[in-house]
Structure formats: C-alpha cells, structure tokens
C-alpha cells in the first residue's frame, strides 16, 4: 500500500507540473537539407530526392529542394551530372561505375549552399535468392533469402515499392453521350471502377550475417501487411530492392531505425544523433540529413493473389462509407417517365459531373428500360476516392487479374 501511495503521489505531482516542451530542434527556424538515394554503380538509373525538414507544427509535409546542381564525382576524376526530373528528384541513366573507384555526391542548392559527401567504396550486391510470404496473425509476412558466395557483403538493407488494387463502391456502366442521353461505357480508358496505388516504403529494413561462418541471410522478415488494411483485397504487388552496405552505412541505418521506429515507451532506447557522411562545405554549421552509399542494386517482385491467399480481407475499403454511398440525395434513381422532361432532369442531375449513372433499370415483366440508378462521383470513381491512385493497369500486373 505504501508503494501504491508513493506512485500515486508522484503521478499527481507530474500532472500538476505539466508544461509545454519545445526542443531546440523542433522550435529552430532552420530548415535542414535531406538527401535520399543511393549511387547505383550498376546497370540501372541513379535517383536522389532532395527536400527540406519542416516543423512538426507546419502545414506542409514535404518541402522539395528544386533547381539544385547535383553531381557524382569519382576518385578516378570522373564526374556525372544529375538532372531534375520532377520536384526535388534528380536522376541520371545507368552509370556502370568502376568497382575499384570511390564516389561522392556534390549538391549546390539554388541559394548557393554547397554540400559534399565523403568518398565511399562501391559494393557489389548479391542477387536475391527468393522473396516468400506466409499468412500470419491475420496478415501477410514477407521474407527474404539471399547469400554472397564471396562472403564479402555481410551488411544488407532492403526497401520496397508496393502496389495494390482497390475499387470504388459502385461501378458506373453508363455515361452521358454527345446527344445528352445515356450510353454504355465501352472504352477501357473510360472505366474507373478499379484503381491502383503505388507507394514507396517508409521502413528501415536491415540484416547481417556477422554471426555466421557463411554470408547467408535466411528468411529475414521484411514487411508485414495486415488484412484489415485492405491492400491485399484486390491484388498486391511488391518490388523489393536489396543493397549491400559498408559497416559505417549499416551503423547509420541501424541508428536511424532506432530513432524512428523504436521510440515511444519508457523502455525504448533514447534518441541519439545520427552521424551523416554529408557536410555543408559552404557553412559547416549547417547540418545535412542522409547517408550516401554506392552499390549495385538487385531486386525481386512478388504478387499476393487475394483470391487464393487464405486470409480474410475487406471487399471494400472506405472512405466513403457504404452508408455515404447508398443514402439519398447521394444515391437514387432517375425515371424516364415523363419522357418529355427526362432530358432536362438528366442534365440537371449530371451537369456538374459530381453525379454518375450506375446501371439501367428495366421493367421485369416487359424488359423495357424505365430509368437509371445513380450515385456520387466519390462513390463510383476510384480516381476520386482515397487513396487517389490511377486506373492505368501496371505493366507488371498479372494478365486477367481485374474486376
């Protein structure tokens, strides 16, 4: 009882002494440069994304760094320029770099800040032997198996790009034709019941073989997808990339993982400074966030067939909710009779583009067309609902796997 009383007293004191905590890093007006990417020394393109940190209280989630001069420099006096392709993303075609040279990244921003990374050795990444998955805890757990016969890798990192299909609540079979009357949708590009969303991973996935005599990673756990997320309901494809790391790079990513994924309780490790190998040479007091590595990159794609995977997944994922899509005035019927006012009523219903026709209504005894059902665009157009993807079928999507 004495122990409970002491704990209760301490809790009351803590609650009565609350004050706003504003760490220097959070309240600082500085905006630090963030550099994400890997120098791909192999047969694929190299990409770097440049952005700026923002305050936790800021409305913007990403602040891209545009119009920078970005280049890769080799210890063998080679130099390669990267071009900005979209906001904050700089790229160059396959470089085929020398495995014996070292490389670094140079960035000069539009406001004349100049950053230079340390020279790093190029690593040769072994192929991925296999990507597999099992159904666990009402979800899908992915695993990777790989090995290096030369025993030269030891340190590994993975990231991935996931693509999943999702559906609108209703399927619109009819559109308004050039004559102002309903016509059946026949053009595949004019259909938007099924969409696809592609998102890069935000996880830090690491592994090593330091405790083994052979450089083997066997069934290392990677990503876990819950059934309730809806991502595997209508097909799920994931492309895993594998990177060989130096010991220093592995230490950086390991520390970053601890700081971002294992903080939240009193038992977790306290956050610590993550040492970057990027330096601001125009103003040494300015910090940069990121770590430059150079390696070949290997990859493997795997597809999860929701029709054959034994896991219960939702058939439809809000928003909007089914109630939002079935209740008037969002959903309803428009009748052809009286015919002399049908065209005007149809135009009034659909002229804004926010209401779409779904299906034809026929009189059961006669089979005569008597009207159409309708619903809001948000309920019938997968391009207009979260998570806002595309109706273009990915080239890697299995043939015939559509709804």
Flag whether pLDDT at 131 surpasses 90: yes
Flag whether pLDDT at 276 surpasses 90: yes
What whole-number distance in Å separates Cα of residue 166 and Cα of residue 230? Answer: 8
* pLDDT at position 190: 86
The answer to whether 140 touches 232, Cβ cutoff 8 Å, is yes
Flag whether pLDDT at 136 surpasses 50: yes
* pLDDT at position 4: 41
Least confident of 267-276, 302-311, 325-334: 267-276
Q: Three-class SS of residue 74?
A: strand
Flag whether pLDDT at 270 surpasses 90: no
Q: State the average pLDDT over residues 183-204.
A: 93
Count of other CB atoms within 10 angstroms of residue 10: 10
- Tell me the CA distances in angstroms from 110 to 32, 64, 362, one per residue in order: 14, 12, 64
Q: Which region holds residue 349: left if phi is over 0, alpha if psi is between -120 and 50, else beta?
A: alpha
What whole-number distance in Å separates Cα of residue 241 and Cα of residue 253? Answer: 15
Flag whether pLDDT at 148 surpasses 80: yes
Q: Three-class SS of residue 4?
A: helix
Closest to 45 measured CA to CA, from 83, 95, 98: 95
The mean of the pLDDT values for the chain is 90
* pLDDT at position 2: 41
Per-residue pLDDT tens digits for 281-293: 999 999 999 999 9
Least confident of 110-124, 251-265, 384-398: 251-265
Flag whether pLDDT at 383 surpasses 70: yes
- Tell me the CA distances in angstroms from 351 to 28, 180, 344, one per residue in order: 50, 10, 10
Closest to 296 measured CA to CA, from 54, 124, 140: 124
What whole-number distance in Å separates Cα of residue 46 and Cα of residue 74? Answer: 15
* pLDDT at position 308: 87
Flag whether pLDDT at 196 surpasses 60: yes
pTM for the model: 0.86
Percent of the chain with pLDDT over 90: 80
What whole-number distance in Å separates Cα of residue 168 and Cα of residue 316? Answer: 8
Flag whether pLDDT at 403 surpasses 50: yes
* pLDDT at position 188: 81
């Amino acid at each position: 009882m004495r122990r409970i009383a002491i704990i209760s007293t301490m809790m009351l004191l803590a609650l009565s002494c609350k004050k706003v905590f504003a760490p220097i890093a959070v309240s600082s007006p500085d905006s630090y440069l963030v550099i994400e990417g890997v120098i791909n020394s192999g047969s694929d393109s190299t990409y770097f994304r440049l952005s700026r940190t923002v305050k936790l209280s800021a409305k913007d989630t990403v602040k891209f760094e545009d119009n920078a001069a970005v280049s890769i420099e080799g210890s063998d006096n080679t130099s390669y320029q990267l071009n900005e392709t979209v906001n904050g993303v700089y790229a160059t075609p396959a470089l085929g770099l020398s495995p014996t040279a070292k490389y670094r990244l140079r960035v000069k921003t539009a406001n004349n800040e100049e950053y230079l990374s340390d020279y790093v050795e190029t690593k040769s990444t072994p192929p991925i032997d296999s990507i597999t998955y099992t159904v666990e805890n009402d979800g899908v757990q992915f695993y990777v198996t790989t090995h290096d016969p030369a025993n030269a890798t030891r340190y590994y990192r993975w990231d991935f790009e996931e693509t999943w299909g999702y559906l609108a609540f209703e399927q619109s079979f009819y559109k308004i034709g050039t004559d102002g009357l309903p016509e059946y949708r026949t053009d595949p590009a004019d259909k938007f019941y099924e969409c696809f969303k592609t998102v890069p991973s935000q996880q830090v996935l690491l592994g090593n073989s330091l405790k083994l005599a052979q450089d083997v990673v066997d069934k290392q756990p990677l990503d876990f997808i819950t059934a309730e997320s809806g991502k595997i309901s209508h097909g799920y494809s994931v492309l895993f990339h594998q990177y060989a790391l130096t010991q220093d790079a592995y230490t950086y990513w390991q520390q970053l993982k601890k700081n971002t994924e294992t903080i939240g309780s009193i038992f977790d490790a306290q956050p610590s400074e993550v040492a970057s190998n990027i330096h601001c040479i125009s103003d040494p007091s300015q910090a940069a966030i990121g770590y430059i590595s150079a390696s070949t990159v290997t990859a493997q794609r795997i597809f999860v067939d929701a029709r054959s995977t034994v896991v219960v997944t939702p058939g439809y994922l809000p928003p909007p909710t089914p109630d939002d899509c079935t209740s008037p005035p969002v959903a309803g019927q428009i009748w052809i009779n009286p015919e002399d006012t049908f065209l005007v009523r149809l135009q009034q219903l659909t002229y804004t583009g926010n209401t779409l026709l779904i299906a034809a209504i026929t009189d059961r005894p006669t089979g005569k067309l008597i009207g159409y059902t309708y619903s809001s665009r948000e309920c019938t157009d997968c391009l207009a609902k979260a998570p806002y993807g595309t109706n273009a079928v990915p080239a890697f999507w299995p043939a015939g796997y559509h709804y």
